[in-house]
Homo-oligomer: A and B are copies of this chain.
Amino acid sequence: MLKLGGSVITIKNRAFTPNREAITRLAGEISDSKASPLIIVHGGGSYGHPLAAKYRIAEGFRENRQLIGFSKTHNAMQSLNILVVEALIEHGLPAISIAPSSCIVTKRGRIERFDAEVLSRSLKLGFVPVLYGDAVFDCETGFSILSGDQLASALAIMFNAEKVIMGVDVDGLYTADPKIDFSAELIERISLSELEKLTNKIGGSRATDVTGGMVGKIFEMASSVASDIDVVIVNALKPGNIYKALRGEKVRGTRIVKG
């Protein structure tokens, strides 16, 4: 399971701007790694978040003007997804987009129904399914936002993944915020119980990310780790990292372990 963060494949703070260079390079690394079977989930970054936030999609249905916002959010995510899938196809991978909003229904934002038949069939035939964080229908609130992180963790558990590789725009988890604290050190390995303590500490640094920043990521990944799936956070903006992580080679980053 490879999760590509929205901040990796889009340009932060520039609405609807894909990071084409990163997308092309990553497609090459994924293809070169020959990792198989493989499921890819990507985030929304500057494609999905601004629209989702503007129309308050994550809060559920409140007024009719949100409908067009839901439409715009999904359409933006579909556009971004096409760029990712196209790049993978150009690198020879039979990537196939699976639209979360077409097959998943949430309940108060958590996955409630997911017919995994299409995903199973695609893997069995040798495809590389590509999913993404999306605006989805919700059986209680009308609609909601399903984060790529929640989706990646749920699929990893459902398909008993060997490992989850989280490609983000930083090197991993730090003891403090490395942008403001020079003494901050990269945590190379952390257990679930240590994570819990850290989560409380960094809870305040939550970014303007409708699906939750690092805190949300860690929260979602904890369930994969609890299900005995290795989770490793690496910087996907640094060339070669995703290739190495997919090959199982040593790479700078944070490994989350159960015990």
The interface of chain A, by Cβ under 8 A from chain B, is: 61, 64, 67-68, 70-72, 74-75, 78-79, 81-82, 85-86, 89, 92-99, 101-103, 105, 113, 115, 117-118, 121-122, 125-127, 137, 139, 142-143
Contacts and interface: CB of A to CB of B under 8 A. Distances in A.
Contact of A101 (B70, B81, B96): B96
Nearest to A137: B121
A117 B117 CA distance: 15
22 contacts: A61-B125, A68-B89, A68-B93, A70-B96, A71-B89, A71-B96, A72-B89, A74-B97, A78-B78, A78-B82, A78-B85, A78-B97, A98-B101, A99-B99, A99-B102, A101-B118, A102-B102, A105-B118, A115-B115, A118-B137, A122-B137, A125-B142
B82 A86 contact: no
Contact of A103 (B61, B93, B103): B103
A33 to B, nearest CB: 18
A11 B93 CA distance: 29
A128 to B, nearest CB: 8
Contacts of A82: 75, 78-79, 82
A130 to B, nearest CB: 10
A126 B98 CA distance: 24
A139 B139 CA distance: 29
Given A103-B115, A118-B102, A125 B67 contact: yes
A103 B126 CA distance: 19
Contact of A64 (B117, B126, B137): B126
A8 to B, nearest CB: 21
B105 A117 contact: yes
Contacts of A115: 103, 115
Contacts of A101: 96, 98, 118
Contacts of A137: 117-118, 121-122, 125
The 6 closest A-B pairs by CB, nearest first: A67-B94, A102-B102, A99-B99, A121-B137, A99-B102, A71-B94
Which of A86, A89, A94 is the most central at the interface, judged by chain B CB atoms within 10 Å of its CB?
A94
Contacts of A67: 94, 125-127
Contacts of A97: 74-75, 78, 99, 102
A137 B103 CA distance: 14
Contacts of A64: 126
Contacts of A72: 89
Nearest to A86: B75
